[in-house]
Amino acid sequence: MRKRSHRVHAAVAGVTAVLLGASGLVACSAGGNSPGPGGPSKRQAAVSPKPTPAWDRSPASVAAVGDSITRGFDACSVLSDCPEVSWATGSDTKVRSLAVRLLGKQRAATHSWNYAVTGARMADVAAQMEKAAARRPALVAVMAGANDACRSSTSAMTKVRDFREQFEDAMRTLRRELPKAQVYVASVPNLKRLWSQGRTNPMGKQVWKLGICPSMLGDADVVDAAAMKRRDKVQKRVVAYNKVLRDVCAKDDRCRFDGGAVFEYRFGTQQLSHWDWFHPSKDGQSRLASIAYRTVTAKNAPE
């Protein structure tokens, strides 16, 4: 009996050792810290996902950066900025800018600022962001990229890699000063649609000859293989820019891209300036404001 008892105890001890060893392996695989009673381990607590900041659908102030579209160029008179009709910060009652829709006209007059510059490219946006950050806006509206594609030739267009680095630099510039400001990013408009709509107007084609977006609008009536290949190359570059805007914005918890809404909007001649048949008219500016407002105030970001 004594020998049998000894063997039983030895077997129990062996099983216990195996179980303890297995327990140790489980603990190691979980990070080496077994959970305490009623709570997660320190390791589990450390890797818990950080909650995404809530998007404020009614920001208290707005700053805008970008190019001639955001300056309202050619919307009021020929070859002139008209910031009062800007989709982002303008005061015009027919446009009802993003700032007016969010803040009301009276508050928008004192709590919105436009730092866009006609002719600006993405490389210029970081400097604009720095100026905008000094105002400490709750929301920064961005529309840039059309001038990166609208060059003297397709070879002169901003490379996609450079475009990405420049937008990332602009975002870093803002984040150094305003880590919690929200950012709305509009997609680059469909330049090929601009060509297809504006080329029906003789006056527009004459104005285009002055040098408006030659990479897309040059020789507007020519539709041979070479011309169409050139326009397709510009279009593909715009699509690539929009992917950059989407990807970079997605890495920032307080950034919303419009989901391609501006690019996909099927505007007609009523939305184009009747001075150059390229920039948005007042009606076009109003449509841009509507897209921006819908994106900013949506419960969820566009897919």
* Mean pLDDT for the chain overall: 87
β-partners of residue 184 are 141, 256
Residue 19 falls inside a structural domain: no
Decide if 88 contacts 99 (C-beta within 8 A).
yes
pLDDT digits (tens, 9 = 90+) for 44-102: 455 556 666 889 999 999 999 999 999 999 999 998 999 999 999 999 999 999 999 99
Q: Does the pLDDT value for residue 184 go beyond 60?
A: yes
Q: What is the CATH number of the domain that holds 212?
A: 3.40.50.1110
Residue 171 falls inside a structural domain: yes
pTM listed for this prediction: 0.83
Residue among 276, 282, 302 at smallest CA distance from 87: 282
Residue among 66, 60, 101 at smallest CA distance from 83: 66
Q: Does the pLDDT value for residue 31 go beyond 80?
A: no
Mean predicted confidence (pLDDT) in 115-123: 98
Residue 167 falls inside a structural domain: yes
- What's the domain count of the chain? 1
Range of the domain at 108: 62-297
Q: How far is CA 266 from CA 72, 94, 191, 246, 275, in A?
A: 20, 20, 11, 20, 20
Residue 45 falls inside a structural domain: no
Alpha-carbon gap, residue 166 to 159, rounded angstroms: 11
Residue 18 falls inside a structural domain: no
Residue 135 falls inside a structural domain: yes
pLDDT digits (tens, 9 = 90+) for 148-170: 999 999 999 999 999 999 999 99
